[in-house]
Amino acid sequence: MCEVRMLDDAERRIEIMKKNGDVVCSNWYIEIEGRQDFAFTKTGKKVFTDLSSDIDSDDIEKTYISRKRESGVIYITDHAAKRLKERNGWNKKTALRMIKKIYETGVRGEDVKGYIAPWMRNKIATRNPGDEFVVYGTSCYVFNTGNVITVLPLPHKGKFLSR
């Protein structure tokens, strides 16, 4: 049994890579509405509010927002949530329930037979490393390293129902 969560619900932190190669990180936090982890001053410089060291914006090469992930948990990305709503009409609660069912009972891409097989072989041949295709109902769900990446409609030639 696996657990499913929205990626937005994961803890996150700001990571700043300085030009000298040092990386400075904020504390882990859960997104709170209205919270600002950095703000722009009148001069256009960034001021980071929860970092222990002072950082001059001229020293910053890149900033990242990392999300903490737990093993054994499938996370639904923002993109996947939009596609699940657009293509399946699912709200958040339905998506959380159905993704667990799909991951556990869906047909893996390598096991697909029938008219879908050539389409699936093409998807598998052109996939990114770590992509896992799971067919359920009339859709193909793409998972990668514990994340639901997107949902693709299957080609039309009747319905392909999997259990």
- pLDDT tens sequence across 123-138: 999 988 889 999 999 9
- pLDDT value of position 85: 96
Query: pTM of the prediction?
Result: 0.71
The pLDDT tens digits for 6-39 are 887 777 777 778 888 888 776 676 654 555 554 4
Contact between residue 155 and residue 140 where contact means Cβ atoms under 8 Å apart: no
pLDDT level of residue 150 (50, 70, 90 thresholds): very high
90 with 98: CB under 8 angstroms? yes
Q: Taking the domain 3-67, which CATH number applies?
A: 2.30.30
The CATH 2.30.30 portion of the chain extends over: 3-67
How far is the C-alpha of 4 from the C-alpha of 10, rounded, in Å? 11
Q: According to CATH, where is 3.30.2310 located in the chain?
A: 74-153
User: Domain 74-153: which topology?
Assistant: YaeB-like fold (3.30.2310)
Identify whether the C-beta of residue 123 lies closer than 8 Å to the C-beta of residue 129: no
The answer to whether the CB of 61 falls within 8 A of the CB of 132 is no
Kindly report, residue by residue over 24-81, the tens digit of the pLDDT: 776 676 654 555 554 444 444 444 555 545 666 777 788 777 788 788 899 999 999 9
By CB atoms closer than 10 A (0-12, 13-18, 19+), residue 142 is buried
Measure the CA dihedral 23/34/89/82, to 10°.
-30
